[in-house]
């Protein structure tokens, strides 16, 4: 996830004023537009990590588009301005609240593995050992069939009021005109300099002259502008069954390695077996959202292949066993850390693309929460990792120990509401920052490495691992786009990037807001910690400083601090149509929240 500034004021077609747009003269030389972490008002709202994407979304709303239209246009813009986190080379999960019918829908636009994918895809045949992560990532093996474009098409077609083509055009204009590189954008490239240097198309775009672009220089992507326009004119068939798809397949099967890479790379770059038939056969799924009650609120989330909905739901159910508002902050945080450890143990053991619905239902049931919550001791932290629960047991009996599992740290999230009360919560990704590092030559977008979200080998001892690769299978995700209703109406929508920390970030913002008396902006800004069933709690320095001593006294261990966790966006729904749009005030340089009318 990264941010940067638009180099130019939005086109004449963009008239947004609530999100400050930078005058062309000021920004063409790298002046960053102001970022607005909180915006309060009426008539619709957008929160993303990037001011340009937020401005595009707001403009769609002002012109009479609905939340789905605005979300698709903003996401397409993020594909230009956040290319290392999201784009049409990746996938994601789209959660939509339909105000007219008062229903929550989801789209599973997760990447799927090739039909020929086998369980041992990430095992080196030479020695029978799993590949190093970097070797698997920067290869054709890691690339799944992208679901993002299909997601936009389906969302716009089912619930939007604008054509997909018209929603791609503002993003194409941004790609044509360019935007000013900021420090984060540059750093994301610098962090990827070696893998990017292996591919001519990636180097040409992101390593001009062999080095990351200077801060303040204008970054353009005319190939992506053309790609968007081609799709706008001819439809998504050019991607899933036509020339763009053919280029994707060629890239995966014959990674376009540069003749003389400007940086060394320690690994062979292996081809994958994604075929045009995989792209043509790609199908979105429309699973029922996960649903759990939390202190009178109804929390809707994303079902499998994301583990986000069940993991958030299970942890909330465990937390509900304690009145967090009546205990000390230390005790509330203790309960939060214990609940997520238990929830992650169960998620690792049981949740994958093919988990039976009955198992998911059980994991998110209050009965299960009681069986898990009874293991928490208010005075002493559990030893981590905790074992997963035994689904066949009726008491507090844990089953065999499982291993903690981690994922990448990329991705982006956006939240949109319109004047009719519709809401979109959408998390999209190409997995690692920079995905597989392969830009499709001539097309201007990076391919994902989402298939490395599979476990390379079993992680659950003698028990089956639900997240091993398989033909056409989708890797387990942690993405947790969440919509919370109160009395049947939207109360809060939120989500975040951050790999497996997505689950804990969403939970912590919810607990901060619902239980700890914080306003939404306070809940977003508060320092974060993440316990994913590992020996040490991962925490931001401010959290560690403030709460570390008391939590350590309860037996929690801390891993080395991390500078920041997540980059959330959210909207809260107040009385009489009032909207509080919220983005990060500081993490990753801060996000951009805007409203249609103040
Ligand atoms: N690939 C990860 C997932 O689906 C997301 C990566 C991230 O957010 O950093 O859970």
pLDDT in tens, 174-187: 999 999 898 889 99
197-232 pLDDT, tens digit each: 999 999 999 999 999 999 999 999 999 999 999 999
Reference 500, options 403, 414, 376; nearest CA is: 403
CB 70 within 8 A of CB 414: no
Average the pLDDT over 272-300 and give the result.
Answer: 98
Q: Is the pLDDT of residue 29 over 60?
A: no
State the DSSP string of 48-74: ES-HHHHHHHHHHHHTT--HHHHHHHH
With 0.85 as the threshold, say if the pTM is over it: yes
d(CA 36, CA 592): 5
Q: Is the pLDDT of residue 47 over 50?
A: yes
Q: What's the gap in Å between 113 CA and the centre of ligand 1?
A: 16
pLDDT, position 35:
83
DSSP collapsed to 3 states, 501-568: HHHHHHHHHHHHHHCCCCCHHHHHHCCCEECCCCCEEEECHHHHHHHHHHHHHCCCEECCCCCCCCCC
136-184 pLDDT, tens digit each: 999 999 999 999 999 999 999 999 999 999 999 999 999 999 998 988 8
Q: List active site positions.
A: 411
Q: Is the pLDDT of residue 407 over 60?
A: no
pLDDT, position 589:
83
User: How deeply is 225 buried, as exposed, middle or buried, from its count of CB atoms within 10 A (0-12, 13-18, 19+)?
Assistant: buried
CB 439 within 8 A of CB 426: no
353-402 pLDDT, tens digit each: 999 999 999 999 999 999 999 999 999 999 999 999 999 888 876 655 44
Enumerate long-range contacts of 22-27, CB under 8 Å, 24 or more apart. Answer: 27/180
pLDDT, position 393:
84
Supply the residue whose CA is at minimum distance from atom 5 of ligand 1. Answer: 499
Reference 147, options 39, 20, 306; nearest CA is: 306
Atom of ligand 1 nearest to the CA of 479: 10
What pairing do the DSSP bridges indicate for beta strands 557-558 and 536-539?
A: parallel
Q: What's the gap in Å between 255 CA and the centre of ligand 1?
A: 23
Count how many Cα atoms sit within 13 Å of the Cα of residue 380 in the half-sphere of its side chain: 3
Query: Which pair of structure tokens corresponds to residue 464?
Result: 């089956």
User: In what helix (H) or strand (E) does residue 195 lie, and over which residues does it extend?
Assistant: helix 193-197
Query: Which pair of structure tokens corresponds to residue 385?
Result: 């990792």
DSSP collapsed to 3 states, 457-495: CCCCCCCCCCCCCCCCCCCCECCCCEEEEECCEEEEEEE
Average the pLDDT over 541-562 and give the result.
Answer: 97
Supply the residue whose CA is at minimum distance from atom 4 of ligand 1. Answer: 477
Q: Which of 387-401, 433-447, 566-580 has the lowest mean pLDDT?
A: 387-401
Q: What's the gap in Å between 112 CA and the centre of ligand 1?
A: 14
d(CA 45, CA 266): 46
Query: Which pair of structure tokens corresponds to residue 495?
Result: 């989500």
CB 174 within 8 A of CB 52: yes
Query: Which pair of structure tokens corresponds to residue 143?
Result: 């690339």
Q: What's the gap in Å between 200 CA and the centre of ligand 1?
A: 26
User: Of the residues 344, 498, 502, 505, which should be mutated to test ligand 1's pocket, given the most ligand atoms within 8 Å of the CB?
Assistant: 502
Instruction: Name all residues whose Cβ lies below 6 A of ligand 1.
Output: 407-411, 429, 431, 450, 453, 477-479, 497-499, 502
Specify whether the backbone of 444 is left (phi greater than 0), alpha (psi in -120 to 50) or beta: left
Give the length of the chain: 598
- Degrees to nearest 5, angle at CA 507 with 560 and 106: 125
Between 392 and 447, whose confidence is greater?
Answer: 447
d(CA 315, CA 500): 14
Cα four-point dihedral sign 324, 329, 334, 337: positive
Atom of ligand 1 nearest to the CA of 500: 10
Reference 372, options 355, 390, 350, 351; nearest CA is: 390
315-367 pLDDT, tens digit each: 999 999 999 999 999 999 999 999 999 999 999 999 999 999 999 999 999 99
Query: Which pair of structure tokens corresponds to residue 390?
Result: 């035994």
Reference 243, options 229, 225, 227; nearest CA is: 227
pLDDT, position 395:
80
Average the pLDDT over 567-576 and give the result.
Answer: 97
2-27 pLDDT, tens digit each: 332 332 223 222 322 222 232 232 23
96-129 pLDDT, tens digit each: 999 999 999 999 999 999 999 999 999 999 999 9
Reference 226, options 88, 426, 85, 56; nearest CA is: 88
- Degrees to nearest 5, angle at CA 538 with 532 and 539: 135
Average the pLDDT over 439-457 and give the result.
Answer: 97
DSSP collapsed to 3 states, 351-417: CCCCCCHHHHHHHCCHHHHHHHHCCCECCECCCCCCCCECCCCCCCCECCCCCCCCCCCCCEEEEEE
CB 50 within 8 A of CB 591: yes
**How many Cβ atoms from other residues are within 10 Å of residue 471's Cβ?**
13
459-479 pLDDT, tens digit each: 988 899 999 999 999 999 999
Atom of ligand 1 nearest to the CA of 501: 8
Q: Is the pLDDT of residue 578 over 90?
A: yes
């Amino acid at each position: 996830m990264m941010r940067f500034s638009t180099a130019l004021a939005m086109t004449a077609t963009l008239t947004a004023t609530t999100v400050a747009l930078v005058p062309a003269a000021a920004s063409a030389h790298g002046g960053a537009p102001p970022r607005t972490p909180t915006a309060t008002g009426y008539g619709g709202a957008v929160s993303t990590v990037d001011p340009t994407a937020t401005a595009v979304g707001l403009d769609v709303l002002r012109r009479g588009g609905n939340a789905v239209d605005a979300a698709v246009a903003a996401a397409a813009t993020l594909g230009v301005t956040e290319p290392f986190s999201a784009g049409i080379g990746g996938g994601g999960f789209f959660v939509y609240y339909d105000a007219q019918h008062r229903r929550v829908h989801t789209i599973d636009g997760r990447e799927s593995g090739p039909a020929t994918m086998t369980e041992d895809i990430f095992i080196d045949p030479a020695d029978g050992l799993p590949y190093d992560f970097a070797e698997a990532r920067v290869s054709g093996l890691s690339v799944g069939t992208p679901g993002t474009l299909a997601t936009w098409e389906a969302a716009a077609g089912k619930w939007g009021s604008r054509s997909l083509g018209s929603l791609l055009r503002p993003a194409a204009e941004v790609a044509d005109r360019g935007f000013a590189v900021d420090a984060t954008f540059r750093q994301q490239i610098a962090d990827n300099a070696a893998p990017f240097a292996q591919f001519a198309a990636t180097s040409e775009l992101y390593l001009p002259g062999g080095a990351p672009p200077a801060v303040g220089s204008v970054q353009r992507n005319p190939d992506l502008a053309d790609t968007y326009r081609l799709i706008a004119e001819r439809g998504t068939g050019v991607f899933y069954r036509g020339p763009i798809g053919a280029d994707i397949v060629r890239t995966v099967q014959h990674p376009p390695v540069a003749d003389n890479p400007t940086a060394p790379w320690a690994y062979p770059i292996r081809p994958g077996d994604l075929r045009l038939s995989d792209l043509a056969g790609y199908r979105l799924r429309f699973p029922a959202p996960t649903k759990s009650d939390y202190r009178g609120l109804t929390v809707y989330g994303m079902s499998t292949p994301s583990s986000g909905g069940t993991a958030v739901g299970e942890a909330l159910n465990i937390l509900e066993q304690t009145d967090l508002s009546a205990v000390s902050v230390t005790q509330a945080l203790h309960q939060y850390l214990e609940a997520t450890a238990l929830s992650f143990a169960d998620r690792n053991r049981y949740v994958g693309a093919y988990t039976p619905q009955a198992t998911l239902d059980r994991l998110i049931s209050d009965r299960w929460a009681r069986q898990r919550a009874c293991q928490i001791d208010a005075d002493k932290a559990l030893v981590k990792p905790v074992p997963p629960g035994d689904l066949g047991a009726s008491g507090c009996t844990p089953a065999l120990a499982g291993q903690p599992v981690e994922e990448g740290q990329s991705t982006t999230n956006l939240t949109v509401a319109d004047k009719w009360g519709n809401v979109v919560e959408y998390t999209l990704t190409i997995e690692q920052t920079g995905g597989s590092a392969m830009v499709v030559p001539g097309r201007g977008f990076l391919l994902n490495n989402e298939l490395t979200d599979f476990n390379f080998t079993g992680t659950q001892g003698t028990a089956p691992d639900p997240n091993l690769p398989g033909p056409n299978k989708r890797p387990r995700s942690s993405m947790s786009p969440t919509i919370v209703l109160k009395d049947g109406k939207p109360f809060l929508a939120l989500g975040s990037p951050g790999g497996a920390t997505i689950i804990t970030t969403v939970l912590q913002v919810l607990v901060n807001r619902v239980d700890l008396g914080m306003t939404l902006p306070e809940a977003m800004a508060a320092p974060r910690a993440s316990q994913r069933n590992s020996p040490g709690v991962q925490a931001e320095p401010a959290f560690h400083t403030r709460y570390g001593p008391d939590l350590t006294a309860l037996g929690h261990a801390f891993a080395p601090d991390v500078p920041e966790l997540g980059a959330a966006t959210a909207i809260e729904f107040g009385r009489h149509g009032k909207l509080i749009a919220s983005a990060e005030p500081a993490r990753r340089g801060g996000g951009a929240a805007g409203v249609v009318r103040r």
